[in-house]
Amino acid sequence: MLFPSAVASKKYGTAVVEEYPNVEERLEKEGNLEASIESLLNVEKQMRLAGDVAQTKKAVVEIVQLCYEARAWKTLNDQIILLSKRRGQLKQAVTAMVQQAMQYIDETPDIETRIELIKSLNSVSAGKIYVEIERARLIKKLAKIKEEQGHIAEAADLMQEVAVETFGAMAKTEKIAFILEQVRLCLDRQDYVRAQILSRKISPRVFDADTSKEKKKPKEGDNMVEDAPADIPSLSELKRIYHELMIRYHSHNSDYLEICRSYKAIYDIPSVKSDASQWIPVLRKICWYLVLSPHDSMQSSLLNATLEDKNLSEIPKFRMLLKQIVTMEVIQWTSLWEAYKDEFENEKSMLGGSLVNKAAEDLRQRIIEHNILVISKYYSRITLKRLADLLCLSLQVRHC
């Protein structure tokens, strides 16, 4: 690699143009890592003080590559810190150095070395807006390591240090994926209050954006939005992840209607609706949670909309269940439970897992509520014994 020193020669009175071979050749030629780094540091200093951005970046990246090729991980960490603290260090050089070093994280020989490298890069990028995206990615990697080690709370705390919603240059899908990871870790540590706060940073409408439209060319002065990394899921996959996390959150509070709405959102994803093996389990869940939801206008609207769904004919037992709920007739709890007990138990092996713990108890409660509404329409006077028989309840007499 050639480092032209024409700009530097005016300031330092040198006219020497030195040719630097690649990393392997330099190590063979000089045979000393420290001497190789020292020579590059001299070039970096000249280029930096001369304001040559391109050559300063090349020198910095060469130093990082040199340490990596020599597998000198401690030296790499030291050089990263040293280069970032040099007087008048250029932002572009720091950015190039951090991005280059991040490529070596997965190449580290052990977990301790990996953590040290991430921490070194994190300390360099902390507080610098021009490497805020890189810092977010570093924090995410470190949090994943902590989670694998069983430190869920520590991983969650690390992720909460970063507010990616303020990053103008980060891709929308990467922002959403990062926030969803924050929510997941909060749910894993059973911090439901913080999980709710974080989830509100994402509007469900963002998943319905039309991605087929061409991206507008950024105007002059606008921030350039980076492309999301290859491992970031698509918007439709993120939508499913979001609603699955919301199901976990609402299951904690047994908020059946919100659980139902989340399953309905998953059901409407094109990739789910086109695959019967995916939509049938989801539609079953929608039916169960509709029945479990307290009767109100929203529940009634969703119930009628679901009954009009043609796919419901593929699971006739659930169509019959919803029909019974909308029909103003008394439902015999014992016969209903006998007919649907096996289906209820089968949910454990279906996509999405079993229903919430108290679902069976609440299902009976909803049938009782339905029957009371029906009885109130047909009876103006009724004995307690008759009422108990219709509701499948025992008549308990209290003696005063």
Please provide the DSSP assignment of 236-272 as one string: HHHHHHHHHHHHHHHHHHT-HHHHHHHHHHHHTSHHH
At 336 the pLDDT is 92
At 10 the pLDDT is 35
By the 10 Å C-beta count (0-12 exposed, 13-18 middle, 19+ buried), 352 is classed as middle
Sorted by sequence, the CB contacts under 8 Å of residue 82 that are 6+ apart come out as none
- pLDDT one-digit tens code per residue, 75-124: 999 999 999 999 888 999 999 999 999 999 999 999 999 999 999 999 99
Beta strands in the chain (DSSP E): none
- pLDDT one-digit tens code per residue, 1-21: 444 443 333 333 333 334 444
- pLDDT one-digit tens code per residue, 189-216: 999 999 999 999 999 999 887 555 545 5
Please state, in angstroms and rounded to a whole number, the distance separating the CA atoms of residues 374 and 368. 10
Structure tokens at 43: 């070039």
Q: Tell me the angle at which helices 73-85 and 111-125 cross, rounded to the nearest 10 degrees.
A: 0
At 1 the pLDDT is 44
Please state, in angstroms and rounded to a whole number, the distance separating the CA atoms of residues 364 and 340. 12
At 29 the pLDDT is 42
Residue with token string 């499948």: 392
At 387 the pLDDT is 87
At residue 19, the 3 state secondary structure works out as: strand
Please state, in angstroms and rounded to a whole number, the distance separating the CA atoms of residues 228 and 211. 14
Name which of 303, 304, 335, 324 is nearest 371 in CA terms. Answer: 324
Residue with token string 């409408």: 205
pLDDT less than 70: residues of the chain = 1-31, 210-223, 397-400
At 394 the pLDDT is 84
CA 331 vs. chain centroid, Å, equals 43
Buried b (16+ CB within 10 A) or exposed e, 205-226: eebeeeeeeeeeeeeeeeeeee
At 25 the pLDDT is 54
At 6 the pLDDT is 39
What does R_g of the chain's alpha carbons equal in angstroms? Answer: 31
Structure tokens at 166: 């303020």
Residue type, 53: V
